[in-house]
Amino acid sequence: MEGAGYRVVFEKGGVYLHTSAKKYQDRDSLIAGVIRVVEKDNDVLLHWAPVEEAGDSTQILFSKKDSSGGDSCASEEEPTFDPGYEPDWAVISTVRPQPRHSEPTRGAEPSCPQGSWAFSVSLGELKSIRRSKPGLSWAYLVLVTQAGGSLPALHFHRGGTRALLRVLSRYLLLASSPQDSRLYLVFPHDSSALSNSFHHLQLFDQDSSNVVSRFLQDPYSTTFSSFSRVTNFFRGALQPQPEGAASDLPPPPDDEPEPGFEVISCVELGPRPTVERGPPVTEEEWARHVGPEGRLQQVPELKNRIFSGGLSPGLRREAWKFLLGYLSWEGTAEEHKAHVRKKTDEYFRMKLQWKSVSPEQERRNSLLHGYRSLIERDVSRTDRTNKFYEGPENPGLGLLNDILLTYCMYHFDLGYVQGMSDLLSPILYVIQNEVDAFWCFCGFMELVQGNFEESQETMKRQLGRLLLLLRVLDPQLCDFLDSQDSGSLCFCFRWLLIWFKREFPFPDVLRLWEVLWTGLPGPNLHLLVACAILDMERDTLMLSGFGSNEILKHINELTMKLSVEDVLTRAEALHRQLTACPELPHNVQEILGIAPPTEPHSPSPTASPLPLSPTRAPPTPPAPTDTAPQPDSSLEILPEEEDDDGADS
C-alpha cells in the first residue's frame, strides 16, 4: 500500500494489546490492531494502530501517542505494575497514556479511547526486542527504545512474530545472545556504528574498524578467521547505507562479561542436486574387501558403498558388528576371535550379577526391582507383530529381557529407560546371538545414550539443531510452524529419540540404521532425515491450513507410510545443497561436520553445546584375568534362520 510520501512494506492484523495485568484477559482488556512497517520521508517506521469499529484507521497511520495527556485506563482498585515481562503471562507495559492532572467528575466513567494506544516509532530509535517463550498460546514482542522505555507489548493472536522480525532484518541487524535467546539487540546497517559496537564488546584484540573494513571487502574469509565469537555473519548484512546515524552501544559492566552474538539473516542456497542411490552391498562384494588374514581392506570405499546402498540381508549379521564398533575394521580374523572370547566372558560376569540376586534381596533393592518391572512391561509389547517376537513363549522375548537387564549392570548411571527395547529389537533380530547383540547394542547406545538422560539436554540440543537446519533450508516452513505454535518441533521428539524406529516398516528401519551408522557424509545425518520428511510434507502442511493439533495428527499419521529410500535420497540431496553454499553459517557447518567446532565455552547451562561426536566403539574395559569360556548352558544361541521375504525392501 502506497500513499503520498509513504509506502507500507509489511502489514499484519490480529495484533493485540493486553491492557490488563491479569493472567486471564477479558474482552474489554484486549485491543485488536494492525502492525505495519512503513517507509516515509527517508525513514522507516514501525506503527501499530487499533482496528476501530468506525472510521478509517489510516487516518492515524502516523499519529504519535501523546505522552503528556490522555485519559487513564487504569482503575484505582487495580493499580498498574511492571513485571518486566519475565512471567510468561505478563501483559502490562511501562508505556501507556499518562493520566490527566484534572480528575474526572465524580460518578462519571473514565473514558479510554482505543485510538490513544496507537504508536509509531522509527526503527532507528529501537534498542532491543524481546520475544516470548515458545509454547505460549499467543506469542508477543516487547520493543525497547534507546531512551530506555518499552512500548506496549504486541500480542500476535494470529502468528507473525517471525515474519515481522524478518522484515525488520532488512533494515536492522538483530543480534541474539546465546545467554538469552529471547533478547535481540538492535544495530543499524552502518559500519562505523558497528565498529563502535565491536569495540565496546571487546570481541577482537585488533582494531575493530580494521576488522569491519576487511569484512566489507571479504566477509566470508574474515568471518571465519577473525570473528571467533560471532558465529554467523552474512555478506548482505553489513552493506553500508548512504545515510544513517547510530548511537554508541554502552559498554557492558565490568562484572558481567558480554556474551557472543549470532546475527540473524538469510542464506541463499543454490539449486538442490539430484541424488541416485546405489544397490545394496552383497556378500560377494564384501568378500572382495577381505584380505588374506581376514583384515578388511579399502574400508572408506566400503563404508561409502554401505552409505549409498545399504547391505543385503544375508550380510548384516557380520557387517553390523563392524558398524557398531563391536569388531575393529583394522583387526584380523584371529584378533576378532580373541576379542569375542574376552567379551563373552565379560558379558556373563555382568549377567551373573543380577541373576544371582535372590527374590529376598531384590525386595530390598528397589532400583533393580524397578528396572526389572519396566523391562518386562516394555519387552512384552516390543515388535510383537514381527514373527521373530510373536507368541507368548517366544525365546526372543527372554533374550531381550536378559540383555536389557545386563545393560543395567553395564551402565549403572543410565540403567534402563523406556525406548531402549525399541533400539535393541532390530539388533537382536539381525545378530541372533545374545552376547554379540549385547555388545552391538552397547555400541548403538554410545551414539544415542544422551537421548535417554533425565535432564533431556541432549534432546533439547538436537531439536535446536534441527530447527537451525530447517530455518536455513526452508524459512517459510519455519515461519508457518511458528505461527501455528509448532515452531519448537516437539512433534519430532520421537523421531530423534529412537531414530525413527516407529516411523518406518521394520525392514526399512534396518536399512536406515545401517546407513546412519556409517557416519557419512557427516555427523547428524539423522537430523537431515527429519528435515527430509518435513520437506516431503511441506505443501500438505502449509496449503491445508493446519493448526497445531492438525500438524501433530498429520505427523503421527505418517507412521509406516514413508519410503526409506525416498527419505534417504532427499536427506543426501539436502546435505549436498547445504555444503555447496559458500556462505553457510559456521554453526550449521559444525552440525554437518564440515567445520571444526568452536572452542568450548566456560560451563554454562545456556551456552551453545558442542556438536554430537559419535564414538564408534564403546570404551574398552580392563581385560579379565580369566578368559575361559562359559558353560553352554549359560549361552543362548538362536538357531540360524533363512532370509525371509520381509527381511529387506
Residue ranges with strand state E in 487-555: none
Query: What predicted TM-score, i.e. pTM, was given to this entire model?
Result: 0.58
pLDDT of residue 376: 95
Same domain for 421 and 527: no
Q: Per the domain annotation, does 610 fall within a domain?
A: no
Q: Per the domain annotation, does 560 fall within a domain?
A: yes
Residue 296: all three cell numbers together: 578388511
Residue 327: all three cell numbers together: 569388531
Same domain for 555 and 408: no
pLDDT of residue 221: 42
Residue 179 belongs to what domain range?
6-19+28-55+117-187
Residue 352: all three cell numbers together: 551373573
Q: Per the domain annotation, does 325 fall within a domain?
A: yes
Q: Per the domain annotation, does 649 fall within a domain?
A: no
**Do residues 15 and 85 touch, judged by C-beta distance below 8 A?**
no
Last residue of a domain, one of 131, 162, 187: 187
pLDDT of residue 66: 38
Last residue of a domain, one of 165, 187, 209: 187
pLDDT of residue 115: 61
Q: Per the domain annotation, does 240 fall within a domain?
A: no
CATH code of 181's domain: 2.30.29.230
pLDDT of residue 252: 38
Residue type for 225, please? S
Give the total number of structural domains in the chain: 3
Regions of the chain where pLDDT drops below 50 = 23-24, 53-112, 136, 191-264, 601-649
d(CA 154, CA 171): 20
Same domain for 424 and 573: no
Same domain for 479 and 401: no
pLDDT of residue 183: 84
pLDDT of residue 360: 93
Residue type for 111, please? S
**Do residues 586 and 598 touch, judged by C-beta distance below 8 A?**
yes
Specify the long-range contacts of residues 36-39, CB closer than 8 Å, at least 24 apart: 36/8, 36/10, 36/11, 36/12, 36/61, 37/8, 37/9, 37/10, 37/11, 37/164, 37/167, 37/168, 38/6, 38/7, 38/8, 38/9, 38/62, 39/6, 39/7, 39/9
Burial class (CB in 10 A: 0-12, 13-18, 19+), 268: exposed
Same domain for 471 and 440: no
Among 385, 364, 323, 330, smallest CA distance to 517 is for 323
